[in-house]
Structure 1
Amino acid sequence: MRLARIALLSLVSLIVSPPLFAQEAAPFDPIAFELELAAVEAPAERLAMVDAAIAALEASPDPDPEIYFDLSALRLEILREAGETAAAAAAAEGLADFAIRMSEQLDRNPLPYLDLAATLYTEAEAYREALRVLDTEIAYRRNGGQSGQVLADLLNRKAEVARLRGDMAATEEFAGQAQFAIMSTRMGKRSGQDGGFSAVDVFYATDRARTGNADPAEFYGHGRGDLEYGVVTVTIPDTHVPGAIETPSIWKLEFGPSPARHVMVRKVDPMEADAYFSKMSSELAGRERKEIVVFIHGFNTRFDAAAKRAAQLAYDMDYRGVPVLYSWPSAGQTVRYVADTAVVRLSGRRLSMFLEDLRARSGADTIHIVAHSMGNRALTDALELMALRDGIKEGDDPVFGQVFFAAPDVDAGLFREMMKTIHPLAERLTLYTSENDWALVASRKLHGNAPRAGQGGDSVTTDELFDTIDMSDLGEDMLAHTYFADDSSALADIVSLIWRNPPPNVRCGMTETVTETGETAWKYQKGGCFDKTMIGLISHLWSKNDISRADISALISELVTDQAAASEIEGRLDAYIAPEGQEAN
């Protein structure tokens, strides 16, 4: 099976180096391919183009698992459109198998594909194959600690397939197993008892349409919908590594997700607006900091992935305020860039009204915002609309605290121009850039080589209205497209700003640079911070309003054993608490 081959190719590429003089092929450009495919209507021709792209990717020395998965998902869609039911069933099963095998590198839920494969095999009267897929789904869910009604429903599906096959003995057996699954739960024989993890509640607003699937990870899709509110619960294992989104690993013999080992979307609870803001206000009333951080995801991000990332950031920051997610209808695929551009600007209008409601109804004293990638198109539109609608101008009290534009996929000239209107809204505006971001490189080509605001390097976007931090030194993150969250040093910078708003010249890891036009920017040097220690110390200081050097010294003496590190960290934190331009007291 094709998808299994790339799993093997990826493993082999870890241990076998390519020939020294091998000629490198041009990297696959998902955006260019999407545009080429859009010009073709006949399903047979579209399928041939996708197959050719998959074959080329298979032949490359270092195949990209996410692009491979997305191309294969596109192939599945075309097969279904063409009425090739049996072939589509096999493709869906292959996608599920690949998601399980490559789970450490690829955060894709195999369950919808297993469910679809079983349905399509049944429609094609391939009953043996349908039973095999249902067995795989049952085993996956059991390994993840699921039981009760979920397994009973799958066993009843097996009974129905057996009936269609004419095997009445198997029909009765599977129906009996379904009854036993429900009885076992009622008798308290449930596996996977709670423990070994923390639950993080993230308030959300989204204009995604619901899928009709009750599975929390699949509750919202990429269709356009009306603005909805709710709370999504994400579990973080006690063994969590900061910056990571732990997923099952076949190499660790983990064949299903478990909250004690993996970051999981556990529950999605939609709410009416009044109940939503009432709950948020009550939640803030009991918090040490009456603050909110709003996360806005970027291109190629599903709802469940955005929820997990927002929860992970809040957890790793040990944030004492309330985390909020705004999720716009990204298709969550590398080969759907143009489709994402078609929906994100509408979401900007809705985000603008949501931010107004947060100000008026949440009970928060301060609201911070972190936007990533294409999500910055929604955010810049929303903030500009707010400033114009409310008549906010320079000298007015800021509406928001810290606003972070991480790798914004926005025209650089337009970004600078919009900041003239947006600047009065925030206490500080920070632009994070990178020259290693493939989506920004591809976007620049698509937009006539016009620079993107999020691109780093010599022509980095700067202005006196915002701080520009070039994060290129953090390296390349081609798949997740989320380097700002995956390196805890970048997270340390975000935490520092939310805590005390220190200027770039006193923050750790920052080197002042001068651009080609003579403007000031800052370059982050990886390894320039004791990042995890800094985050831990700041988490102990979140709730203190009046902090002295003596407070910091006492805390460091208690928690930091390395004397060299203690001295450097103490000096840095002293600078953070000092008023800008003054020495610490």
Structure 2
Amino acid sequence: MEMAARRGGGEAAACKRRSRITLALCALLLTLSACSERMTAERAAPHPDAQIQPIYVATERELDQTGPIFGLKRPSGLKYFRTDISVPPSHQIGVIEWPEGRTDAASDFVVTGTQVFDGPGQMLGDIRRTEPGRETLVFIHGYNNTLSESMYRLAQIQTDFATGMPAVLFSWPSAGDPRGYIYDRDSVLFARDDLVTLLDRLTARPGDKVFLLGHSMGSHLTMEALRQAKLSGNTRLLSRVSGVTLMSPDIDPDLFDRQAEVIGKLPQPFLIFISKQDRALSLAGFITGSKARLGVIDEAEKVTRPDVTVIDFTELADGNSLNHFVPVTSPAAIRVLNGIISQAGREGTGFLRDMALKLPSARAVRP
């Protein structure tokens, strides 16, 4: 009787904890939904001291009837354009300086120019004319992202990490609404063939390479595209992927294992950035059945593949953006990550497995 009572008391306590977590996550979702006003990219005259980041965009988003902006409808085929993003001379590492009043290139991210291309060939010609390198960074954004937010985020990443590569944004048809989680998951499957098509075109010449950066649900799309390439026998494309980073991946860990199993040999380096304090992924876990997503696993060792490097950014979480962008919004994380990248390049040794980041420097942990 006493044991049964203790067991019953424990179950009741666990039920209360689950209820509190559920209420907290519901409150978070309601808060996100209430924040209906989203910032949009705006044009302004260039500033002589600003840094211009050309961002190339391949998008499935359709032109809405309300104006020349890309919306959330799911059309067929890709559209291509370039937008020149001006990063202000006062830019702070990890920050997108959205206008707080009148748009000013001296203090804000702004658009200074746009060119719409007739097709992929015209975009590729522009990339190769202005960016002679053979490696291209492809950014695949996550759930609840607008085109403006994704363009500015990629411009910020290009500035803070000085990648030296031309940057292409693959803008898939996210609803851009926190209530559109299921819509966005369906859009990932809708978009995977077009992502493969884009990557094929970016690697058409001998020696061309692509480095893939997937964020959140965009990590799921990245894995689906690689899996699709493998299933279709497109080994040429897989050999042209120079590396993959999944940042805060919104993927079920079991699904990731199955995707990786199908792909086989993963591109190298293959990095996964996690943070146990990622509140957005905690909400995603609640929506999908309370199972932890890959980006919030509690132990890096749970990813057992020897060809995957897991980097834990938990200690560098800064509270911004629900801790969902820590590797690219936390100044400390950016400095540490730039240092790791620089050191790996100098030593030619690549990345140690399972690096847990601690202030003020990185501590490497071998399994």
Shorter-chain TM-score category?
0.7 to 0.9
Alignment counterpart, residue 88 of structure 2, candidates 237, 240, 255:
237
Offset at residue 262 of structure 1 (A): 0.3
In structure 1, how many angstroms separate the alpha carbons of the residues matched to 2:114 and 2:27? Answer: 31
Q: Is the 8 A contact 2:220 2:249 kept in 1?
A: yes
Q: Does 1:199 align with 2:52?
A: yes
Structure 1: 5+ residue runs without aligned partners? 1-22, 34-52, 54-63, 71-94, 96-106, 112-140, 146-191, 250-254, 506-519, 530-571, 573-585
From the superposition, tell whether residues 460 and 29 of structure 1 become closer, same or farther in structure 2 (CA, over 3 Å). Answer: farther
Offset at residue 302 of structure 1 (A): 0.4
Equivalent pairs counted in the alignment come to 336
Aligned to 1:259: 105
Amino acid at match of 1:199: I
Aligned to 1:61: none
Offset at residue 317 of structure 1 (A): 1.6
Offset at residue 460 of structure 1 (A): 6.0
Q: Is the 8 A contact 2:202 2:208 kept in 1?
A: no
In structure 2, how many angstroms separate the alpha carbons of the residues matched to 1:364 and 1:213? Answer: 42
- SS of residue paired to 1:454: helix
Alignment counterpart, residue 274 of structure 1, candidates 121, 124, 136:
121
Q: Is the 8 A contact 2:266 2:307 kept in 1?
A: no
Alignment counterpart, residue 296 of structure 1, candidates 140, 152, 157:
140
Q: Which has the higher contact order (CA 8 A, sep 6+)?
A: 2
From the superposition, tell whether residues 67 and 494 of structure 1 become closer, same or farther in structure 2 (CA, over 3 Å). Answer: farther
Amino acid at match of 2:160: D
- SS of residue paired to 1:427: coil
Q: Does 1:68 align with 2:68?
A: no
- SS of residue paired to 1:294: strand
Q: Is the 8 A contact 2:309 2:354 kept in 1?
A: yes
Aligned to 2:14: none
Aligned to 1:223: 73
Structure 2 matches for 1:23-422, cutoff 5 A? 26-29=23-26, 64=31, 66-70=32-36, 108-109=39-40, 194-212=47-65, 219-225=69-75, 226-249=77-100, 255-271=101-117, 272-285=119-132, 289-361=133-205, 365-390=208-233, 392=235, 398-422=239-263
In structure 2, how many angstroms separate the alpha carbons of the residues matched to 1:347 and 1:296? Answer: 11
From the superposition, tell whether residues 377 and 390 of structure 1 become closer, same or farther in structure 2 (CA, over 3 Å). Answer: same
From the superposition, tell whether residues 332 and 373 of structure 1 become closer, same or farther in structure 2 (CA, over 3 Å). Answer: same
Moved more, 460-469 or 485-494: 485-494
In structure 2, how many angstroms separate the alpha carbons of the residues matched to 1:258 and 1:466? Answer: 43
1:434-476 deviation digits (Å, cap 9, x = unpaired)? 1112232222223333332111324764121311112111224
Amino acid at match of 1:339: Y
- SS of residue paired to 1:324: strand
From the superposition, tell whether residues 397 and 299 of structure 1 become closer, same or farther in structure 2 (CA, over 3 Å). Answer: closer
Aligned to 1:472: 314
Amino acid at match of 2:72: H
Offset at residue 69 of structure 1 (A): 1.6
Aligned to 1:524: 357
1:63-97 deviation digits (Å, cap 9, x = unpaired)? x5x54323xxxxxxxxxxxxxxxxxxxxxxxx5xx
- SS of residue paired to 2:78: strand
Flag the structure with higher helix content: 1
Q: Is the 8 A contact 1:420 1:465 kept in 2?
A: no
In structure 2, how many angstroms separate the alpha carbons of the residues matched to 1:478 and 1:29? Answer: 17
In structure 2, how many angstroms separate the alpha carbons of the residues matched to 1:259 and 1:279? Answer: 25
> Larger Cα Rg: Structure 1 or Structure 2?
1
In structure 1, how many angstroms separate the alpha carbons of the residues matched to 2:288 and 2:53? Answer: 39
In structure 1, how many angstroms separate the alpha carbons of the residues matched to 2:293 and 2:260? Answer: 15
Q: Is the 8 A contact 1:433 1:460 kept in 2?
A: no
Q: Is the 8 A contact 1:207 1:224 kept in 2?
A: yes
In structure 1, how many angstroms separate the alpha carbons of the residues matched to 2:67 and 2:47? Answer: 21
Structure 2: 5+ residue runs without aligned partners? 1-19
Offset at residue 236 of structure 1 (A): 0.4
Aligned to 2:270: 429
- SS of residue paired to 2:251: coil
In structure 1, how many angstroms separate the alpha carbons of the residues matched to 2:358 and 2:293? Answer: 22
- SS of residue paired to 1:415: helix
1:376-434 deviation digits (Å, cap 9, x = unpaired)? 121111011112323549xx994211210111111101102222333535121111111
Q: Is the 8 A contact 1:295 1:310 kept in 2?
A: yes
In structure 1, how many angstroms separate the alpha carbons of the residues matched to 2:323 and 2:169? Answer: 18
Amino acid at match of 1:277: L
* TM-score normalised by L of structure 2: 0.81
In structure 2, how many angstroms separate the alpha carbons of the residues matched to 1:453 and 1:407? Answer: 8
In structure 2, how many angstroms separate the alpha carbons of the residues matched to 1:326 and 1:420? Answer: 25
Offset at residue 108 of structure 1 (A): 1.9
Percent of pairs with identical residues: 21
In structure 2, how many angstroms separate the alpha carbons of the residues matched to 1:502 and 1:207? Answer: 38
Aligned to 2:297: 456
Amino acid at match of 1:428: P
In structure 2, how many angstroms separate the alpha carbons of the residues matched to 1:69 and 1:482? Answer: 19
In structure 2, how many angstroms separate the alpha carbons of the residues matched to 1:483 and 1:333? Answer: 21
* TM-score normalised by L of structure 1: 0.52
